[in-house]
């Protein structure tokens, strides 16, 4: 999984917030164009140059720079391929480029809210997406009815790329927000009375209790309780 900060490897050392924002816009532009199979030669060259500034021997950046200088129609598919490969190691798409990831996180929020209800809490939580602040990629986060959030960076857009990651990330953030709201551990294993944690288990998203040898209490979204 790609995570926070990888894009910074491509920011020039003298770079400040404005450079980061400019790089983010450039990367987003090239990403969307490359996905559509038609990369703008100037934008592709700028991206390659940013990479070469920090990694002068990078083969993808070298090839992309040469292709974008030639700028011939027949090279477009290859430019798109190389640009996407370069971006994959250097930059994380956000909800602007991948709106489906936000939809997937919203679906996960609905499932997690079933567990909120099943544990006797009367109010659902909300998923919110932070505005992009001064060049920082906007993450999503869970908010309670009184406006409490977890004390973390929130949910990375790429966590929405698959349903299991989405459930684990939203459940984890909801747990943090609810514990701030309730000032109590949530949720609690009914057998061991221990706080449980969201995690991957056998390709599913579960609430995991550390009691005994460790066991899944329930699939996330299927907490036993009212209505089950």
Pick the binder of Zn ion from 85, 192, 199, 201 (CB under 5 A).
192
Tell me how far the alpha carbon of residue 168 is from its chain's centroid.
12
Whichever of 91 and 208 has its CB closer to Zn ion, that residue is 208
Residue 57 in tokens = 């021997």
Shortest distance in whole angstroms from residue 33 CB to Zn ion: 50
Q: Which residue lies nearer to Zn ion by CB, 203 or 213?
A: 213
Sign of torsion, CA 145 148 150 155? Answer: positive
Considering only 15, 28, 124, 211, the residue that binds Zn ion (CB under 5 A) is: 211
Task: State the nearest-atom distance from the C-beta of 187 to Zn ion, in Å.
Answer: 11
Nearest to Zn ion of 64, 217 (CB atom): 217
In which residue are the tokens 């309780």 written? Answer: 225
Min separation Cβ 142 and Zn ion, Å: 24
Distance between CA atoms of 171 and 174, rounded to whole angstroms? 5
Q: Tell me the closest approach of the beta carbon of residue 24 to Zn ion, in angstroms.
A: 43
Nearest approach, Cβ of 204 to Zn ion (angstroms)? Answer: 17
Answer yes or no: are the C-beta atoms of 171 and 137 closer than 8 Å: no
Decide whether 205 or 209 has the Cβ nearer to Zn ion.
209
161-170: b or e for each residue (b if 16 or more CB lie within 10 Å)? beebbbbbbb
| Closest residue to Zn ion using C-beta atoms | 209
Asked whether the beta carbons of 24 and 90 are under 8 A apart, the reply is no
C-alpha dihedral, 125 to 92 to 161 to 99, nearest 10°:
70
Size of the site for Zn ion (CB under 5 A): 5
Collapsed DSSP state (helix, strand, coil) of residue 190: coil
Binding to Zn ion, residues 172-191 (CB under 5 A): 189, 191
Q: Which is nearer to Zn ion, 167 or 189 (CB)?
A: 189
Q: Which residues bind Zn ion (CB under 5 A)?
A: 189, 191-192, 209, 211
């Amino acid at each position: 999984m790609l995570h926070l900060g990888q894009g910074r490897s491509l920011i020039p050392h003298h770079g400040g917030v404005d450079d980061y924002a400019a790089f983010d816009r450039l990367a987003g532009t090239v990403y969307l164009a490359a996905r559509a199979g038609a990369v703008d030669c100037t934008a592709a060259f700028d991206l390659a140059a940013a990479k070469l500034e920090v990694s002068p021997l990078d083969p993808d950046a070298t090839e992309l720079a040469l292709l974008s200088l030639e700028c011939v129609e027949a090279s477009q598919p290859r430019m798109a391929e190389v640009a996407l490969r370069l971006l994959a190691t250097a930059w994380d798409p956000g909800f602007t480029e991948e709106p489906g990831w936000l939809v997937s996180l919203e679906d996960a929020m609905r499932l997690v809210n079933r567990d909120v209800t099943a544990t006797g809490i009367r109010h659902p939580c909300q998923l919110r997406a932070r505005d992009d602040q001064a060049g920082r990629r906007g993450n999503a986060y869970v908010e309670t009815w009184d406006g409490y959030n977890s004390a973390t960076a929130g949910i990375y857009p790429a966590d929405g790329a698959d349903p299991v990651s989405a459930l684990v990330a939203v459940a984890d953030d909801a747990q943090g927000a609810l514990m701030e709201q309730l000032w109590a551990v949530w949720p609690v294993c009914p057998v061991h009375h221990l706080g449980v944690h969201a995690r991957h288990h056998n390709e599913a998203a579960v609430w995991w209790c550390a009691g005994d040898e460790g066991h899944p209490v329930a699939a996330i979204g299927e907490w036993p309780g009212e209505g089950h």
